[in-house]
Structure 1
């Protein structure tokens, strides 16, 4: 009888031991002293990101829904737009063919949204992603902490950079 209980416990516990990575999330925002339409115009222009993101030094618009960003370190980020909603001032995207030197993630989806906030605009950037190495024991640099730190830094730099080129009211 003890052996049966031991087997049952092992069968129940085994799935808990063999788990994969947990999804990570970045959710950041910034208030910009400019009209929402002006901020939206800048965000919705496919390659304008090179003008306001301090880490992006180049951009190639592949199609209206695909672009390749070139970062300061020479690595590239391929973005594919899933949805553009001008009436909601919202863009949803995902990364394709991810260069882990750019961001140590295996997959990433994101959404940028502009809303009015009093006399200013609020830009919210939410990203969900998995670390670069999805095995149970990822090496340093490809783990959850590295993914979280890299995506947080990328988004924060973007939001801070976005404040500069937007025409004030």
Structure 2
């Protein structure tokens, strides 16, 4: 009897472990993009430094902001697919950087349920380097998301959005946009 009970317990524990392994939900994703710009850091920062002004990003058709560059400021950006609301978490004019996060998700506009980002301008040789890092979760946080809302879709969308923005910034600052 004891041997049967031990076998049942071992089987039960195995099933619990297997279930937990498949029911972990989404994992954080990451996108890091960098671009070199042939302009001094101060000129690049001038184009970026106003949290509410994202006119350098060709994928953003409109932006409305409140709060300036103070922590807690908010902006609503309009993409071709809809609006996203973002909040400013940190800002340093001296270090030429700011960090922000998604405040209100819109899965139809962008296939992520949450993101945070940080943009930094640094000197690089005779010009500048802009680094944009983002951490995010896919749109469907369930265990079996559809293809258009899974990790790969989120990574693709975020990477393309960041690359488009950095290329737009480069064109604007270098006088090509």
Q: Same fold (TM over 0.5)?
A: yes
Matched, 1:146 2:153: yes
Q: Quick one: which of 27, 38, 61 aligns to 1:57?
A: 61
- State the distance in 2 between where 1:146 and 1:8 align: 35
1:104 matched to 2:108: no
Distance in 1 separating the partners of 2:81 and 2:30: 25
Distance 2:114 2:74 in 1: 16
Greater displacement, 74-83 / 105-114: 74-83
Alignment partner, residue 66 of structure 1: 74
Structure whose alpha-carbon radius of gyration is higher? 2
Question: Moved runs in structure 1, 4+ residues, more than 6 A?
Answer: none
TM-score (norm 1): 0.91
Tell me whether 137-146 or 4-13 shows the greater mean CA deviation. 4-13
What is the TM-score normalised by the length of structure 2?
0.87
Cα RMSD, aligned residues only: 1.5
Q: How does 1:70-89 map to 2 (within 5 A)?
A: 70-71=78-79, 73-89=80-96
Counterpart mapping for 1:3-82 below 5 A: 3-50=8-55, 52-64=56-68, 65-71=73-79, 73-82=80-89
Q: How has the CA–CA distance of structure 1 residues 105 and 91 changed in structure 2, closer, same or farther, with 3 Å as cutoff?
A: same
Range moving further from structure 2, 8-17 or 75-84: 8-17
Q: Which runs of 5+ in 1 are unaligned?
A: none
Deviations 1:107-163 (A, max 9, x none): 000100111011110000000000111000111211111111111110000000001
Aligned length: 166
Q: Equivalents in 2 of 1:17, 1:107: separation in Å?
A: 22
